[in-house]
Amino acid sequence: MEEMRTQLEMAKIQAKASQQSEHNLTSGSTRSVHEGENSKFEMPKLPAFVDREDDLDSYLLRFERFATTSGWPKESWCTPLSALLTGRALEAFCRLSETEATDYDRVKEVLQKRYNLTEDGYGQRFRTCSPEEGENPSMFIVRL
């Protein structure tokens, strides 16, 4: 009797694991996006950029690395990026002309200006930045 209960529990666990596995395959960590007539790429389920919480430089770097490793053509990067922007970043993107909004380098430049990530902005950040509690010198340099 005890052995039957154990087998029943194991069967339930396996069924649940199988359902979860199927769910992960169907919802996955990416979803298909069609761009143009013949090109297709997977759009990441990256979290949206959160204004005043996320660092734009780090966010764009992560996005670029994902897009590059996924083999996306650079001309297609603006579409998925625009879906992930919120707040001031989305406002800046929406102010671009249709032509500019499809040029990733131009979009990145506009976003960096909006968040004061320019030479002057970095200089100001360097002059006012100080190590955080528990941060060693090498960690501080990386953060700068």
Task: Confirm whether 1 is domain-assigned.
Answer: no
> How do residues 83-132 score in pLDDT, each as one tens digit?
999 999 999 999 999 999 999 999 999 999 998 876 665 556 667 778 88
Please give the residue range of the domain that contains residue 113.
30-143
Within-domain flag for 74 = yes
Name the residue among 61, 63, 75, 56 with its Cα closest to residue 118.
56
Q: Considering the domain boundaries, does residue 105 fall inside one?
A: yes
Q: Tokens standing for 114?
A: 């909006």
- In a domain, residue 8? The reply is no
Phi, psi of 5, deg, nearest 5:
-65, -40
Examine the pLDDT at 65 and tell me if it is beyond 70.
Answer: yes
**Per-residue confidence band for 66, with pLDDT thresholds at 50, 70 and 90:** very high
What pLDDT is stored for residue 3 in this prediction?
66
- Across the chain, mean pLDDT equals 76
Asked if residue 4 belongs to a domain, the reply is no
Number of domains in the chain: 1
Alpha carbon distances (Å) from 11 to 17, 66, 82? 10, 38, 44
